[in-house]
Structure 1
């Protein structure tokens, strides 16, 4: 049965593959939480499976935001299996971590929501209040479908902005996470067609990050780089809606179909 609130008020473009442009941004924000970064560094074969991690994250978002009950349940089972071994004690001033920690799940969900909003608005212009509210309510379920109590999600978009500014101000990036970021942005073993696109992907990722987070990752930035990102996103916003809908939404549809084959 299709979730009754699944598409109500959501902008159609929110289900498009254009969200892939924000995948690395969301991961870099997640890693900048010391507990998340430590967990990924110790429990993820990140260097060898960069695309798999990006795809798994996007697939979960598609399932929770757009999937029917069966697709959502399959996605949650998959994430819970992956999260089960990700746990470790505090050590030498480094924080304890658990992938089942509700506060960490709140942060991960927040990065995905903020990234979706930033990508959509910088590419296509501001969302209407109704569309923005609908998107916000649906992304609240990313954490609530796991172990995050629903009441942890900020009550509205204004409350979220307060939470977001505070959390971005608390982020810390050390050498370990900085090394992870290089593996994400300079991956090895990609198909040639994707390797050619990586310089543009790195530019867009950096341009979408909050300025403080760019500085934490020691990304060099300039007015010229900012202008290039604006130009790329402006052209994308003009051309993207002209593509056939099945092409634009192929990743979402493929992802949802694959969940039916999941154990």
Structure 2
């Protein structure tokens, strides 16, 4: 083996690191247009979509990282989840790299044990691809509800930038479908393999009922909450959850969405982005003060 051949793996490794850095520095100006209140309104619905892939559902439900679980420490879980979205959509290279490192440390403990009903591992690229795809679909929905359908070159830019939801984890760049059309095929094919069994469904319904807050929630608020969550789910996921949906529900959801859209149309961008921007400021503060992100 020549000296050049011996050095080649180091060069390739350096190239991978360099490319990862380029991905972390990706300009997300198109994706940023989806940073609005609809992104938060559809948050729980997006969690259901992610956990509909059975290994993801069991990985979250059975996670040993109890100090960061929604039912063990809801404030931390909400902060870290929104922090990830903020960093992916609005952050820079250093913030994305730091958040990936922190996530890796947490994910290292999220893996099944021999004999578990469903095998899973948080570092599985296929699972990360699905989570990224769900987050992308949530962003596309938030944009569309406020601005109408994605079109032309902007649609392509928006989609390409959506890969940051996966590359800010460990998903390889080439795992992201090459085009919007290819993504659609991947999405439709994956829907056929989704399963929400009774344990995961019960877990998700506890989230819908806000049980992680540890206090009584008024019945009228839970009715609105359930309608909102179900309404922001594509029909296939509503069916998997066994959540009924009526014409009356659809009319109520349409009215709510129109009101949100009207208010946001009058609101300045800083106000539309405020909830996510606050999480990004928190991440930056923690990094500056060398406080753990998780």
Q: TM-score range by the shorter chain?
A: 0.7 to 0.9
Please say if 1:252 is aligned against 2:273. Answer: no
- Structure 2 residues without counterparts, runs of 5 or longer: 1-21
Aligned residues: 260
Return closer, same or farther for 1:55/1:164 CA change in 2, 3 Å cut-off. farther
Distance 2:162 2:32 in 1: 15
Does the aligned pair in 2 maintain the 1:87–1:99 contact within 8 Å? Answer: yes
Deviation at 1:122, TM superposition (A): 2.8
Pick from 79, 87, 92: which aligns with 1:63?
A: 87
Instruction: Provide the residue aligned with 1:30 in structure 2.
Output: 50
The 5 A counterparts of 1:108-127 are: 108-127=131-150
Partner in structure 1 of residue 235 of structure 2: 211
Which residue in 2 is equivalent to 1:233?
257
2:4 aligns with none
Partners of 2:172 and 2:278 lie apart in 1 by 30
Q: Deviations over 1:222-263 (max 9, x none)?
A: 111112112211221122121233222112221121122144
1:200 and 1:130 mapped to 2: Cα distance?
A: 37
Structure 2 Cα separation of the partners of residues 207 and 149 of structure 1: 32
Residue by residue over 1:154-190, the C-alpha shift from the partner in whole angstroms, topping out at 9 and shown as x without a partner, is: 1111111111111122111111111111121111337
Specify whether residues 119 and 200 from structure 1 end up closer, same or farther in structure 2 by C-alpha distance, changes over 3 A only.
Answer: farther
Cα distance in 1 for partners of 2:47, 2:114 equals 22
TM-score for both structures, normalised by structure 1: 0.88
What is the deviation of 1:91? 3.3
Following TM superposition, by how much is the alpha carbon of 1:20 offset from its aligned partner in structure 2, in angstroms?
0.6
TM-superposed deviation, 1:52: 4.2
Distance change (3 Å), C-alpha of 1:117 and 1:54: farther
How far apart are the structure 2 equivalents of 1:253 and 1:18? 15
> CA offsets, 1:14-66, max 9 Å, x none?
12243111211111011111101111111153334456434433321221222
Q: TM-score, normalised on structure 2?
A: 0.79
Distance, in Å, in 2 between the alignment partners of 1:121 and 1:194 is 31
Query: SS where residue 97 of structure 1 aligns?
Result: coil
2:35 to 12, 15, 33: 15
Decide whether the 8 Å contact of 1:89 with 1:95 is kept in 2: no
Q: How does 1:34-53 map to 2 (within 5 A)?
A: 34-43=54-63, 44=66, 45-50=69-74, 52-53=76-77
RMSD: 2.6
Separation (CA, whole Å) in 1 of partners of 2:31 and 2:121: 34
Match of 2:112 among 79, 84, 88: 88
